[in-house]
């Protein structure tokens, strides 16, 4: 790969980490405010982007966010196609590269949503869990679709458990080099809180999806907002919701750390 192309992809990757961090911080702030009764809302990615639209110069800011999210998507797809992390072509390596590709497609679609909101072409309203319900409805219309859907739910739970493993072991710290010693412990704890919160959300989303698939009731599937509702309706719900929301702020902070200190490997 040409050196100029490598520089561009590295810049895209770092801009992507910043954009992703901003989205997670907004989700965390809005949801924490809701949990503690000081306004806000149980927020999804799209809700966070709509909030940016309300800021002065919101359309311009959304354009920058869209570019950053597109950069992150490009970086993830590059990781998947070029195998920049040397994951290999074994079963485990292919699985990891497919995860990179899925992440790239996910954040590419989010970049598109940010662009549409910024240009005023996105409806200000949307049903919670709509995408998950649509996917499940489509799957259930096919033979064996129920079992494929359950598998997707279990994979999502597995991803959540992997996030929790990263939080417990702090293995994510291998991805950053040269952190200032006086801020190392704080940034490590922010990352642990973030990965733990993200893991909890993924586990709940996967559980809701698998449960809805088993019962063949697509309306039971849901996304981030529904995971927040699940937490809120559990014992000590608002406290748990607030803790998870603060954790997501920590994840956003750690994305800034990755933008500054991660080693972007490009073969």
- Is the per-residue pLDDT at 267 higher than 60? no
Q: Give CA–CA dist 224/232, Å, rounded.
A: 12
Q: What is the mean pLDDT of residues 209-225?
A: 92
Q: Which residues contact 48 (CB under 8 A, 6 or more apart)?
A: 23, 26, 27, 30
Decide if pLDDT at 43 tops 70: yes
Confidence (pTM): 0.85
Asked whether residue 266 is domain-assigned, the answer is no
pLDDT the model gives residue 11 = 80
Q: What is the arithmetic mean of pLDDT over 28-48?
A: 89
Q: Per the domain annotation, does 224 fall within a domain?
A: yes
The answer as to whether 209 is a domain residue is yes
Give me the mean pLDDT over the 212-240 stretch: 91
Give the model's pLDDT for residue 125: 47
C-alpha–C-alpha distance, residues 58 and 74, integer Å: 24
* CB-facing half-sphere around the CA of 55: CA atoms within 13 A: 15
Assigned domain for 100 exists: yes
Segments forming the whole domain that contains residue 71: 3-261
Query: What pLDDT, on the 0 to 100 scale, is given for residue 4?
Result: 55
Computed from CA positions of residues 166, 101, 220, 26, in that sequence, does the dihedral angle turn out positive or negative? Answer: positive
Rounded to the nearest angstrom, the gap between the alpha carbon of residue 41 and the centroid of all alpha carbons in its chain is 18
pLDDT digits (tens, 9 = 90+) for 46-72: 888 888 888 888 888 888 889 888 888
On whether residue 76 sits in a domain, the answer given is: yes
Q: 213 pLDDT band (50/70/90 cuts)? A: very high
A 10 A CB-CB count for 108 gives 17
Would you say how long the chain is, in residues?
Answer: 267
- Does residue 195 sit within a domain? yes
Q: Is residue 231 part of a domain?
A: yes
Q: Establish if 153 belongs to a structural domain.
A: yes
pLDDT, mean over the chain: 86
Distance CA 246, CA 242 (A): 6
Structural domain total, the chain: 1
Say what percent of the chain tops pLDDT 70. Answer: 91
């Amino acid at each position: 790969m040409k050196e100029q192309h490598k520089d561009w992809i590295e810049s895209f990757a770092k801009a992507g980490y910043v954009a992703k961090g901003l989205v997670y911080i907004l989700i965390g702030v809005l949801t924490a405010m809701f949990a503690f009764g000081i306004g806000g809302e149980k927020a999804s990615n799209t809700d966070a982007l709509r909030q940016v639209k309300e800021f002065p110069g919101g359309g311009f800011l959304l354009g920058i966010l869209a570019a950053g999210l597109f950069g992150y998507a490009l970086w993830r797809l590059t990781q998947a196609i070029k195998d920049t992390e040397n994951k290999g072509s074994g079963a485990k390596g292919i699985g990891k590269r497919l995860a990179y590709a899925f992440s790239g497609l996910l954040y590419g679609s989010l970049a598109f949503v940010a662009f549409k909101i910024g240009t005023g072409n996105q409806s200000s309203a949307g049903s919670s869990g709509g995408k998950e319900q649509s996917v499940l409805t489509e799957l259930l219309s096919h033979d064996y679709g129920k079992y494929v859907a359950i598998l997707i739910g279990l994979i999502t739970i597995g991803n959540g458990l992997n996030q929790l493993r990263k939080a417990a072991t702090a293995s994510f710290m291998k991805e950053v080099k040269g952190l200032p010693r006086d801020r190392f412990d704080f940034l490590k704890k922010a990352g642990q809180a973030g990965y733990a919160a993200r893991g909890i959300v993924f586990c709940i989303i996967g559980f809701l999806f698998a449960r809805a698939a088993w019962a063949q009731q697509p309306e039971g599937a849901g996304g981030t907002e529904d995971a927040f509702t699940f937490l809120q309706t559990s014992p000590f719900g608002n406290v748990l919701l607030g803790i998870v929301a603060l954790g997501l702020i920590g994840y956003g902070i750690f994305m800034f750390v990755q933008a500054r200190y991660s080693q972007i490997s490009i073969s």
